[in-house]
Structure 1
Amino acid sequence: MSILPVSKKEQVMFGLMMCTGMVLVMMTLNLWHTGMLSQMSVMQMLLQFVICFALAFLVESFIVGPVARKITFSIPFARVSKIKGVVTLSFLMVIGMVLVMSLYGIITAYLAGQLDGVSVFNAYLHTIARNFSLALPYQLIVLGPLVRYVFGKLFKRQAAVVSV
């Protein structure tokens, strides 16, 4: 059993929890991959986290989330089976967020001079592939179930129960 948000307040809390977990892991992976993790101070990493988190939360709340929900709930099998709906929504959210946040990563790498002599387009495609290959299983297997469980404990009485 898991609980999903039903009110706007609950949606915001759920989004904050999901964004925190995704940004923390994806940012750490990308900083490690580019060799920046060992070169940044704690304050620089904290600033990077705050910026990434703010951008991810805004994109998820106002662009990717609404589009993903609209597409998911227009697909008949996603409306009939709750597990298929959750998986479809998660899949669409990961696609949208990886596309946008990978673009953010490439822009920041370009501005920091890390793409000297590298095709920006190829770097973007490579970043998308790398991020998607981690984000999808992490979302479906680890973070999604964990956030739904914790959310369910926090909002026991206010949210609708969904079998997942």
Structure 2
Amino acid sequence: MPKTKFQEIIFTIIMVIVMVYALVVYNISLDKGGLTNEVFYIALGELVIMGIVGFILEMLIAGPLSKKLAFRLVTPGKDKPIFVILAVSAMTVCLMCPMMSFVATVLFKGVDSQLVSKWIQTSVMNFPMALCWQIFFAGPFVRWVFGHLFPEKDLELAAEAE
């Protein structure tokens, strides 16, 4: 896990790319009635704007708040690390899913008298996918990539330097 602000930014960038791309692919396939090769290409175009929005929301709102909420349930250093990871991951999805679904609703479904209904439906459709994707794939994958970019020995040295 990240030990410095720089590492936190790198971790967040990787996580946002993996989460946002998957959810954009998911939403486009829902709109098109199924997953096709074309969907992966279309999703790359949407990844830019949604990735930037996701990064900003995660760094400014969801990241700090999800940790506060998770640490009401678990205590780092006292509870098993997997429980801390799962609590933070779940809280992050609980916060990011409605926020990102709102942005996607406004950008891709338009603002009209049905905005709230569309947003709720988008959030409800996205939440199970986002939670499962985070817990079972994105979280482990990004922690694995991050662990190879910043081996534990390097993390300990970086923490001591700050």
Which TM-score applies when normalising by structure 1? 0.81
1:9 aligns with 2:6: yes
Judge conservation of contact 2:25–2:43 (CA < 8 Å) in 1: no
> How much identity, in percent, do the aligned residues show?
26
Match of 2:62 in 1: 64
Using a 3 Å threshold, how does the CA distance of structure 1 residues 77 and 63 change in structure 2: closer, same or farther? Answer: closer
Opposite residue 155 of structure 2, the aligned amino acid is A
SS at match of 1:57: helix
Opposite residue 63 of structure 2, the aligned amino acid is G
Match of 1:102 in 2: 101
Q: CA RMSD in A?
A: 2.5
How many pairs align?
Answer: 151
Stretches of structure 1 that go unaligned for 5 or more consecutive residues are none
> Which structure is higher in helix share?
2
- 1:34-45 alignment to 2 at 5 Å? 34-35=31-32, 42=41, 45=43
Match of 2:142 in 1: 147
Which TM-score applies when normalising by structure 2? 0.82
CA deviations on 1:96-148 (whole Å, 9 max, x unpaired) are 1101000011101333x8x7xx8322221111111111010110111101111
Judge conservation of contact 1:94–1:135 (CA < 8 Å) in 2: yes
Match of 2:86 in 1: 87
Runs of 4+ residues over 6 Å off in structure 1: 36-40
Match of 1:25 in 2: 22
Using a 3 Å threshold, how does the CA distance of structure 1 residues 70 and 77 change in structure 2: closer, same or farther? Answer: closer
Higher normalized contact order (CA 8 Å, seq sep 6+, divided by chain length)? 1
